[in-house]
Structures are given as C-alpha cells and as structure tokens.
Amino acid sequence: MLSRLSKHLDQAGILVVLVVLIVFFSLADSNFCRSENLINIVRQISMLGISAVGMTFVILTAGIDLSVGSLMKLINVACALMMVEMGLHPVLAIVLSLVLACFIGMINGLIITMARIPPLITTLGMMIALRGLAYVICDGTPIWGLPEEFRVLGQGYIGIVPVPVIIMLLTFALGWVFLNKTTFGRYIYGIGGNEEATRLSGINVTRMKCLVYILSGLLTGIAAVIMLSRQNSGQPKLADGFELSVITAVVLGGVSIFGGQGRLMGVFLGVLIMGVLSNGLIILDVSEYYQQIIRGMVLLGAVAFDNLSTNTGK
C-alpha cells in the first residue's frame, strides 16, 4: 500500500519529511496538532499553494517565473484601487484583476517565445518592473476601506473549512486533471523533457509556453485577490520573497528544475511542508532569523534525502 502510494508520488522521501516534521512539532508542543491550528496552517498556505500549481506548470516546461511575487503586489493593489477609488463592484474588480494577471503572464510568455529571452531573465525583468508599478499606482501607501462583502473570499468559511482552503484544493484538483488527463498536460511534460522533439512532433510549443505563463499569472492573481481579502487592505509591501517560497515549495515537491519530471501531488506535500514548518517554528517561538536558517536547511536536506532515496532504489 505504502509502496504503491510512493510510486504514485514518485518520491516517498518528501512524505517522510512531512510526517517527521508533524510528529516532531506535535511532540514539542501540544498546541500544534489542535484542530484550530491545523486549519490555520492550511489557510496560511492556501495562497502559496494556488500559485505553486501555476509555478509547477512553468517549471515542468523547464521554465521559471520569478515575477509572481511582484504580480501578487500589483494585483493586490490594483484590485483594491478598483474597488475603493473607482467604486467597482467586487466581482467586476476581481474579474478585471484576473484578466490583468493573465495579460501579464501572456507578456512573459510572448517575450520568452518571440524575443527568445530565457525565462529567468524575462521574469526577473518583469519582477523588477511590476514591483515598481505596484508602488507607483498606489503612491506607496496602503489602501483601506474595502467593501464588507469582499471579505468572504479570504475570511469566510464553508462549514469549518476556510474559503481560501477550498479554492486551493479546487486548484490542485483541477491542476491535476489538467496535467494528467488533458493533451495540454502531456505537451507540458513533453516540452520539459525534450522541447525540440516535441516541436518536431507537430506540437505548437510557442502556444503551450505562453499558456503556462498565462496560467501562472492567473493563479497568482487568484492568490493575490485572496490575500487582499484576508489583509483587508491593499498593501504594496506584502509578499516580499513570495516567488522564492513558491519555487521552494515546487522544488521540495520533487519537480525537476530542468523540467519534464514531477507530480502535482508532490508539490502539494511540498506546500504542506512549508506551512507546517513556518507554523511550527512560530509556535515554538523560534526567532525569525533562525526560522530562515532552518527553512533553508530543510529545503536542502529534503531534496538531498529525496534524491538519495530515489537513486538507491534503482
């Protein structure tokens, strides 16, 4: 049973790391495994998780999207402005924000495929430019006074499950179907595994690459809107380093940075590890500086452990 499960995940190592972390924090502090705290953890990681699904698509094509952190800032501020300054209905503001996020993702894709600038550089440029843009449109100050009904998205519950968590789970479910059951998913793995062979098989690689950056933009846009609703104010300062957390979660989840290899289930575990770790360290009252050291070590340790455990299996 476990071996079948691990086969499905492509990596048992990550699962072991997650279980070890949970057991450790539970023993260290009994508050950790209380149900409120566990729900809190999954709510905290929902934005990371949603964006990580898009990043998984991108990295599977052997690309990278560094612009998601700045896009998060921009959409956060832009959506707030649309509601507060322009007085748009929340639904309309959300739709327009997501269109904007898709548009920016498409620009990433077009620059990468048409100007043939490597993804790392394209999205690095986009990251810097979008960060500036986010500060410009709000003059660098927070935007207050969001409509009451907008809060549902980030703060509401269905039963005992927070709305952001439901959106994240839906994103993972749809992402899994997209990757494993549709032609698009097959082509994504193909491009990451061998782009030229994929092109010579008659597949429109340009269109597929644009699509993954659009999806990365869209999903980050959704995460940004949820973030806005949770914070209850548009903040250009938040989400510093968000792109690195997202990439960390995806890599932790066993997705090869060279593309073509990795499963969405692994990424889900990677996201959970990130959440468990930061929550657990806060409960144990570890200082922020030490937290960073530990997070870096866990990333390296988990990936090394995973590599070693899969290599010896062969």
Contacts (CB under 8 A) with another protein, residues 258-277: 260-261
- Shortest Cβ 219–another protein spacing (Å): 18
Q: How far apart are CA 297 and CA 305, in angstroms?
A: 12
- Those residues whose C-beta lies under 8 Å from the C-beta of residue 201, and which sit 6 or more positions away, are 190
- Shortest Cβ 180–another protein spacing (Å): 9
- Shortest Cβ 305–another protein spacing (Å): 22
According to DSSP, the residues that pair with 143 across neighbouring strands are 234
Contacts (CB under 8 A) with another protein, residues 149-188: 181-184, 186-187
Q: How far apart are CA 35 and CA 67, in angstroms?
A: 35
Q: Does 3 bind another protein (CB under 8 A)?
A: no
The residue among 62, 88, 100, 115 whose CA lies nearest residue 258 is: 62
Enter the DSSP assignment of 149: G
Using only C-alpha atoms, what is the Rg of the chain? 19
Q: Does 203 bind another protein (CB under 8 A)?
A: yes
The residue among 136, 139, 147 whose CA lies nearest residue 89 is: 147
Nearer to another protein, 132 or 193 (CB): 193
Contacts (CB under 8 A) with another protein, residues 27-66: none
Amino acid sitting at position 253: G
Contacts (CB under 8 A) with another protein, residues 183-202: 183-184, 186-187, 189-190, 193-194, 196-202
The binder of another protein chosen from 31, 141, 204, 307 (CB under 8 A)? 204
* Contact set with another protein (CB under 8 A): 181-184, 186-187, 189-190, 193-194, 196-204, 260-261
